Chains A and B, each alone.
Chain A
Amino acid sequence: MRDKILFSLAAIAAVILTWNIHTIFAAVPDELNQGPIFRIIYFHVPSNILALSGFGIGMMCSIVYLFTKNLKYDAIAEGVTEVSLVFATIGLITGSIWGRIIWGVWWAWDVRLTSFLVCWLIFAGYLMLRRAIEEPIQRARLSAVVSVFGTVDAYIVWKSIEWYRNQHPGPVLSIRNGGGMAPGMEAPLYWNLLALFCLSIILVMVRMRQESFAREIDSLRREAHSF
């Protein structure tokens, strides 16, 4: 059943991405001021949306773990956070490449970029912390605290383009009252978001399966030690 879901999601993602890449390159015109480089937005924005919302979901699972003490929620939190960090890396790197052409620099220390870098470092630290602690209960409790702390920063990242005057552009999507994109240019972004969302679910499900293998190995080792 799980494999069927994985293959279905992969098929949906592949179809949407193939069709959408054709739309982005063949149907959508160059942006007037930026030229072709603006197309990076079709991967940069969906990646960042998935990263920030993933960190939020990871935090919620961590909070549920703190209340229920069920390690299943801690495993979900880890899987979602790891995949979100991959998307955050895509967001940071694609943004930096876009900035090199539009701003003339690879990086600007404005609030949006700096808070996002801090967010990335916090969640990279979260994963390193998990590798460093052997005891599952202590690992789950401490990483839940880091997850809550990091998600506060993720919220600052999300709101920073409204709260502060940044070098980073303000909201452009109509769902955030940006209205900075023509309808024909905005729709492919949401399709890419859907495709990357399917991809992220696949990655989280694979990560969850690996967690169940790791738990089984742990329980078998305990059994072996009891002989």
Chain B
Amino acid sequence: MENRNVTFMIYGLVAAWLIVLGYVVLLALRERKLRKELDRVRHMVEGGKQS
């Protein structure tokens, strides 16, 4: 019973940090995608102005 208690405590703490980590990774991927898109649109606008 005591071992199971400790195991589930570890599950709980690991789950909490995995959720935070997952969200941070999601934010990082989203930011990279947005920066790429921003660069692409900036080049498109600059190209449009020159022509």
CB of B25 within 8 Å of the partner chain: no
CB of A137 within 8 Å of the partner chain: no
Q: Which residue of B lies closest to A42 (CB)?
A: B13
Q: Which residue of B lies closest to A47 (CB)?
A: B16
Query: Which of A34, A93, A207 interacts with B15 by CB under 8 Å?
Result: A93
Query: Which of B12, B31, B48 interacts with A227 by CB under 8 Å?
Result: B48
Beta-carbon contact of A224 and B45 below 8 Å = yes
Beta-carbon contact of B41 and A213 below 8 Å = no
Interface residues of A in 200-227 (CB under 8 A from B): 203, 206-207, 209-210, 213-214, 216-217, 220-221, 223-224, 227
Interface residues of B in 23-50 (CB under 8 A from A): 23-24, 27, 30-31, 34-35, 37-38, 41-42, 44-45, 48-49
- With the chains together, A223 CA to B5 CA distance in Å? 60
CB of A94 within 8 Å of the partner chain: yes
Beta-carbon contact of A206 and B34 below 8 Å = no
Beta-carbon contact of B8 and A89 below 8 Å = no
- With the chains together, A223 CA to B43 CA distance in Å? 12
If A203-B27, A224-B44 touch, whether A40 touches B34 (CB-CB below 8 Å) is no
- With the chains together, A100 CA to B4 CA distance in Å? 11
Query: Which of A34, A83, A213, A224 interacts with B34 by CB under 8 Å?
Result: A213
B45 neighbours in A (Cβ, 8 Å): 220, 223-224
A94 to chain B, nearest CB (A): 5
Interface residues of B (CB under 8 A from A): 2, 4-6, 8-9, 11-13, 15-16, 19-20, 23-24, 27, 30-31, 34-35, 37-38, 41-42, 44-45, 48-49
